[in-house]
């Protein structure tokens, strides 16, 4: 069989990078649980009609068919392209057994028909948090969710050395109220065009607003003026008011956004700004929206995002509004791991290799390994009763720092990096804390 070729857009990590990913996922889980979110997992597939309703979906949905399905049978199932749509279905199916507001986190693979490039993949891992209410959901959760997300991202920065983030926030009510005040009918079309401002620039956005959304040049100018407002404090409110548009919806959106900016200034200073060009492409967002960029890697675009949705889930009698946030774990990590910006001190969890004198004494080596493991020391037994020099080289190739000799008879442990070898008792010996488990190492030098 010839050597297989990798599939573009489906990243697979070697053990070292995979270990970095596991550390990241562990920190995310810990942070989400500290804030009271419970873990769930949903199925990988949903009916295609479920995946493609609820707004403009520009992601290519992968459909699922049996190999031996009859030709001409329509595809009915698709792999989920995010975790929000399946979560909405999950809430509807299990509403009678959930306590609201329901707080959940979910870490799973998702699939999209993207054109593979740095930061964009066809299969990748997302980590989501959502708070969902039954009938109503208090506005303070719109402030809580981004602060939880920033707490999680800050832990990744301080504990593991990932770059810091900057979250850009806006409010769809602010934008909708502004557009309504300008007597614009198709506000959704305007939002979609304004969302392209960073990619095509203000002049092109103005042209598109006139040609595609049928705005007057004056209306387009006002929309672009709103979109270019950005501030790390509440001064954006005065800038909006200077544009001369007044509606109740606009005022409500500004008040909600100002509360978020004030609170973030206290709990996450320097990590959040009001940026009124942020729109989010999906139509189901109805309130505050968030986009987050990795500082120093702005070319990746938004690596974590979310917002308020008031009508994504409904059974016709009860509506389940929510607010959520999604971290693109693979989108963040794959470029950093590919450039070796983040590595580990060793690519295996093993701290100690117990040498085997002879196959007849393997049981003694296994007994020592068992004692070490019972005290939380990752240990493996040598696969072959070879010359000690070869067993040391085996440990060195796997980056295992310690080799244990004389199991059960004349116990000694050797640090193969320094060459120091000392007597040791498997019931009490302890490696230095920095050697017990692999650690993430930052490599930011070019």
Predicted pLDDT at 5: 85
Task: Over range 292-320, report the average pLDDT.
Answer: 90
Task: Over range 133-155, report the average pLDDT.
Answer: 96
Predicted pLDDT at 75: 61
- State whether residue 294 is helix, strand or coil: strand
Lookup result for tokens 């290519």: 60
How far apart are alpha carbons 320 and 136 in whole angstroms?
7
List pLDDT tens digits, range 386-416: 999 999 999 999 999 999 999 988 999 999 9
State the average pLDDT for the chain. 92
**Which among 37, 84, 34, 32 has a CA at the least distance from the CA of 322?**
84
This model's pTM is above 0.85? yes
The reply to whether omega before 101 is within 30° of 0 (cis) is yes
Q: Where do the H-state alpha helices sit in 95-171?
A: 140-160
Measured between its terminal Cα atoms, the distance across the chain in Å is 39
Rg of the Cα atoms in the chain: 27
List pLDDT tens digits, range 1-38: 678 888 889 999 999 999 999 999 999 999 999 999 99
Predicted pLDDT at 49: 84
List pLDDT tens digits, range 224-280: 999 999 999 999 999 999 999 999 999 999 999 999 999 999 999 999 999 999 987
Are residues 444 and 297 in contact, defined by beta-carbon separation less than 8 angstroms?
no
Residues above pLDDT 70, as percent of the chain? 95
CA of 75: how far to CAs of 45, 60, 67, 193, 223, in Å? 12, 14, 12, 32, 41
**Which among 276, 187, 269, 266 has a CA at the least distance from the CA of 235?**
276
| Burial (CB count <10 Å: 0-12, 13-18, 19+), residue 188 | middle
How far apart are alpha carbons 351 and 378 in whole angstroms?
5
Residues above pLDDT 90, as percent of the chain? 77
Predicted confidence (pLDDT) at residue 115 exceeds the cutoff of 70 = yes
Predicted pLDDT at 445: 61
Are residues 105 and 151 in contact, defined by beta-carbon separation less than 8 angstroms?
no
> How many helices and strands (H and E) does the chain possess?
15, 19
Residue 58: band (very low, low, confident or very high) from pLDDT cuts 50, 70, 90: low
Task: Over range 116-125, report the average pLDDT.
Answer: 86
By DSSP bridging, strand 165-171 and strand 272-275 are parallel
Least confident range of 1-10, 24-33, 289-298, 361-370: 1-10
Domain annotation for the chain: domains and CATH numbers:
15-343 (3.30.930.10), 352-428 (3.40.50.800)
- Name the DSSP letter for residue 384: S
Predicted confidence (pLDDT) at residue 196 exceeds the cutoff of 90 = no
Predicted pLDDT at 384: 94
Task: Over range 133-142, report the average pLDDT.
Answer: 95
């Amino acid at each position: 069989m010839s050597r297989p070729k990798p599939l573009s857009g489906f990243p697979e990590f070697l053990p070292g990078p995979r270990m970095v990913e596991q550390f990241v996922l562990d920190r995310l889980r810990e942070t989400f649980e500290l804030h009271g979110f419970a873990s769930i997992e949903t199925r990988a597939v949903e009916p295609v009609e479920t995946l493609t309703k609820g707004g403009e979906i520009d992601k290519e949905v992968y459909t699922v068919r049996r190999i031996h399905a009859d030709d001409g049978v329509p595809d009915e199932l698709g792999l989920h392209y995010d975790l929000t749509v399946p979560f909405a279905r999950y809430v509807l199916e299990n509403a009678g057994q959930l306590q609201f507001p329901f707080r959940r986190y979910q870490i799973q693979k998702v699939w999209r028909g993207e054109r593979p490039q740095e930061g964009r993949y066809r299969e990748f891992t997302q980590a989501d948090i959502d708070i969902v209410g039954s009938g109503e959901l208090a506005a303070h959760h719109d402030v809580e969710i981004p602060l939880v997300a920033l707490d999680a991202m800050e832990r990744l920065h301080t504990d593991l050395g990932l770059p810091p983030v900057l979250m850009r926030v806006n409010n769809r009510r602010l934008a909708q109220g502004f557009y309504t005040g300008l007597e614009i009918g198709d506000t959704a079309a305007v939002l979609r065009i304004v969302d392209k401002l960073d990619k095509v620039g203000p002049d092109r956005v103005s042209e598109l607003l006139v040609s595609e959304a049928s705005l007057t040049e004056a209306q387009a100018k006002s929309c672009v003026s709103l979109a270019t407002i950005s501030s790390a404090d509440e001064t954006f409110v005065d800038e909006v008011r200077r544009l001369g548009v007044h509606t109740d919806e606009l005022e409500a959106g500004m008040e909600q956004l100002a509360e978020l900016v004030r609170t973030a200034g206290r709990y996450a200073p320097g990590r959040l700004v009001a940026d009124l060009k942020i729109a989010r492409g999906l139509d189901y967002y109805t309130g505050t929206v968030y986009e987050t960029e990795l500082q120093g890697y702005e070319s990746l675009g938004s690596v974590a995002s979310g917002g308020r949705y008031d009508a994504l889930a409904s059974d016709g009698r009860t509506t389940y509004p929510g607010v959520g946030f999604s971290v693109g774990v693979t989108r963040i990590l794959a470029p950093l791991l590919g450039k070796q910006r983040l590595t580990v001190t060793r690519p295996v969890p093993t701290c100690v290799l117990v040498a085997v004198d002879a196959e007849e004494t393997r049981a003694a080596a296994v007994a020592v390994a068992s004692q070490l493991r019972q005290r939380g020391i990752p240990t493996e037994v040598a696969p072959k009763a070879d010359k000690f020099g070869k067993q040391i080289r085996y440990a060195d190739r796997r980056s295992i720092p310690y080799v244990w000799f004389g199991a059960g008879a004349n116990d000694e442990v050797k640090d193969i990096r320094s060459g120091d070898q000392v007597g040791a008792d498997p019931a009490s010996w302890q490696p230095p804390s920095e050697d017990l488990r692999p650690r993430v190492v930052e490599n930011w030098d070019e």
